[in-house]
């Protein structure tokens, strides 16, 4: 897609400025009827697909089950009075991330995330030599996983070297739950090895969800209208998409719902999806990743804005701290993997108790007294998501390519799970949506009329 010119670009000297044309009437999202393409889901993949189809002049309907656009990338400003990303927050790999490249068009404030991280050992920070041990162990672990993946797609846990010593629990957390939303025993070594490096990031001061919503502005979306059935047995050679408020007939559908939604059967396909696609979704099921957000005025932790802190833990009962988000009093504690899943299942009280006791164990008892407002996400219970992001099970990495295949040239799947190297990222979901839209446009053939 060709990028739009920068907003406010100067006019060339001596070139007269044309009078402004009247603004076009806002488009209204169709609720029923005939279109060329129905896009199911208005997360990053759905928005990207819609923009691509709009640029190609195709008639489409974008239908979303939730009350807002963004999918797993939503910014809330009411809970704390400052932007809080309930889901994705990091704009990974800005040099190749299509969302990062579109960011300047939105007018929002994009800035580099601070490099590196800090490690807390009890009530103190790791010393230089200890950080070298940890970083060296992380490199050895990642290298061992990559080496193992060339021979056989075992679990990442099976591939870990034996010499990680006391750093092993922390390294397992950083590479597994924090990076993949699953314990390393549940993650394909091949999938891990294929994922692109994610050490370089941007942040959006107004929130990543706000950035995505800006990119969706102008696109007609039918919100709070879940799709219940997709029939691709239509005699016309197209699809019939039934929603809570009516039915669409189209030549193709782009389905961007999560793999967990597909596996749960929340959308009925007629005929049933091929076993090939269903098996792929099952092998790419979402992991668990939640935020416990705490308001800590006056910076009692003494940390810089956007500082990332891990703990040298001795068990899986650990977390990551993202402090003073964009210079605000908001601190976010991330819990993930099997521990995070079990903790979230116990409810808000258990999540708050863990977060405060964990911080107290690292920064002293006064921290608990400083907490004001608080909030915990529960992505596993979000009815139109049912989890965080995908990581392939051992042996399941080829399923990503299977998920990219069309079904009878009528249904295409898109989303972060349908990307081989950028899985688990908003950028990967966006790129997947663009790919699916391009494939649909090609399938539709030359536009007439």
At 367, is the pLDDT very low, low, confident or very high (cuts 50, 70, 90)? confident
Adjacency order of strands within the sheet including 201-204: 91-92, 201-204, 110-112
Question: How do residues 163-177 score in pLDDT, each as one tens digit?
Answer: 999 999 999 999 999
Statement: residue 19 has pLDDT above 70: no
User: Which residues of the chain form CATH 3.90.660.10?
Assistant: 117-198+287-381
Mean confidence (pLDDT) of the chain: 91
DSSP reduced 3-state for 153: coil
Statement: residue 10 has pLDDT above 50: no
Statement: residue 3 has pLDDT above 80: no
Question: How do residues 371-400 score in pLDDT, each as one tens digit?
Answer: 999 999 999 999 999 999 999 999 999 999
d(CA 76, CA 209): 8
| Residue of 286 and 1 predicted with greater confidence | 286
Nearest to 201 by CA among 111, 135, 118: 111
Tokens, residue 407: 């079904």
d(CA 82, CA 449): 48
d(CA 361, CA 222): 47
User: Which residues of the chain form CATH 3.50.50.60?
Assistant: 33-111+206-285+390-444
Statement: residue 22 has pLDDT above 70: no
Q: Degrees (nearest 5) of the Cα angle 290, 291, 294?
A: 155
Q: Does this model's pTM top 0.75? A: yes
Question: How do residues 264-285 score in pLDDT, each as one tens digit?
Answer: 999 999 999 999 999 999 999 9
Name the one residue in this structure whose structure tokens are 């996400």: 377
Mention every residue, 6+ apart, whose C-beta is less than 8 A from residue 422. Answer: 92, 93, 195, 196, 416, 428, 431
Q: Specify whether domain 33-111+206-285+390-444 bears CATH 3.50.50.60.
A: yes
Give the C-alpha distances (Å, rounded to integers) separating 239 from 220, 243, 298, 403: 20, 13, 56, 19
At 248, is the pLDDT very low, low, confident or very high (cuts 50, 70, 90)? very high
Q: Give the helix, strand, coil percentages of the chain, each rounded to 5.
A: 35, 20, 45
pLDDT (0 to 100) of residue 129: 97
Give the C-alpha distances (Å, rounded to integers) separating 132 from 1, 135, 175: 43, 5, 17
Question: How do residues 112-143 score in pLDDT, each as one tens digit?
Answer: 999 989 999 999 999 999 999 999 999 999 99
Give the dihedral sign, CA 275/277/283/287: negative
Crossing angle of helices 208-216/44-55, nearest 10°? 30
Question: How do residues 44-62 score in pLDDT, each as one tens digit?
Answer: 999 999 999 999 999 999 9
pLDDT (0 to 100) of residue 301: 95
Whether 401 contacts 276, CB under 8 Å: no
Tell me what the mean pLDDT of segment 406-421 comes to. Answer: 96
> Which residues on adjacent β-strands are paired with residue 119?
310
pLDDT (0 to 100) of residue 233: 84
pLDDT (0 to 100) of residue 411: 97
> What phi, psi does 24 have (nearest 5°)?
-65, 150
Statement: residue 32 has pLDDT above 70: no
CATH of domain 117-198+287-381: 3.90.660.10
- Residues of the chain with pLDDT > 70, as a percent, come to 91
DSSP reduced 3-state for 39: strand
Statement: residue 27 has pLDDT above 60: no
Tokens, residue 421: 């190297």
d(CA 288, CA 286): 7
């Amino acid at each position: 897609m060709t990028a739009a010119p920068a907003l406010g670009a100067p006019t060339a000297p001596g070139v007269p400025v044309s009078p402004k044309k009247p603004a076009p009437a806002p488009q209204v999202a169709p609720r029923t009827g005939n279109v060329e393409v129905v896009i199911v889901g208005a997360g990053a993949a759905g928005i990207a697909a819609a923009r691509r189809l709009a640029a190609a002049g195709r008639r489409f309907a974008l239908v979303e089950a939730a009350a807002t656009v963004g999918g797993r990338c939503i910014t809330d400003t009411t809970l704390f009075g400052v932007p809080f990303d309930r889901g994705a927050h990091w704009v990974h790999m800005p040099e190749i991330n299509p969302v990062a490249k579109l960011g300047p068009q939105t007018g929002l404030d994009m800035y580099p995330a601070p490099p590196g991280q800090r490690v807390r050992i009890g009530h103190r920070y790791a010393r230089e030599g200890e950080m070298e041990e940890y970083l060296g162990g992380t490199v050895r672990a990642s290298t061992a996983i990559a080496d193992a993946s060339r021979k056989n797609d075992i679990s990442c846990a099976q591939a870990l070297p034996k010499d990680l010593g006391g750093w092993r629990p922390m390294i397992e957390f950083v590479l597994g739950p924090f990076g993949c939303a699953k314990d390393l025993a549940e993650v394909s070594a091949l999938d891990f090895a294929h994922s692109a490096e994610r050490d370089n990031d941007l942040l959006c001061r107004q929130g990543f969800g706000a950035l995505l919503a800006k990119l969706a502005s102008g696109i007609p979306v039918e919100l709070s209208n879940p799709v219940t059935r997709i029939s691709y047995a239509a005699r016309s050679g197209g699809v019939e998409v039934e929603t809570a408020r009516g039915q669409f007939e189209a030549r193709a559908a782009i389905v961007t719902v999560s793999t967990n939604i597909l596996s749960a059967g929340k959308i009925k396909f007629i005929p049933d999806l091929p076993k090939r696609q269903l098996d792929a979704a099952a092998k790419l099921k979402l992991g668990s990743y939640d935020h416990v957000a705490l308001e800590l005025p006056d910076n009692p932790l003494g940390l810089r804005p956007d500082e990332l802190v891990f703990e040298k833990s001795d068990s899986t009962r650990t977390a990551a701290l993202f402090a003073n988000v964009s210079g605000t009093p908001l601190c976010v504690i991330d819990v993930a993997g099997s521990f995070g899943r079990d903790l979230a299942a116990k409810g808000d009280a258990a999540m708050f108790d863990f977060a405060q006791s964990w911080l107290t164990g690292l920064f002293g008892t006064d921290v608990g007294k400083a907490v004001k407002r608080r909030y915990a996400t529960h992505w596993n219970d979000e009815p139109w998501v049912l989890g965080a992001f995908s990581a392939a099970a051992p042996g399941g990495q080829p399923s990503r390519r299977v998920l990219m295949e069309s079904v009878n040239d009528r249904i295409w799947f898109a989303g972060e799970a349908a990307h081989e190297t950028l899985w688990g990222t908003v950028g990967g979901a966006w790129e997947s949506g663009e790919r699916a839209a391009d494939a649909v446009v090609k399938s539709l053939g030359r536009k007439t009329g």
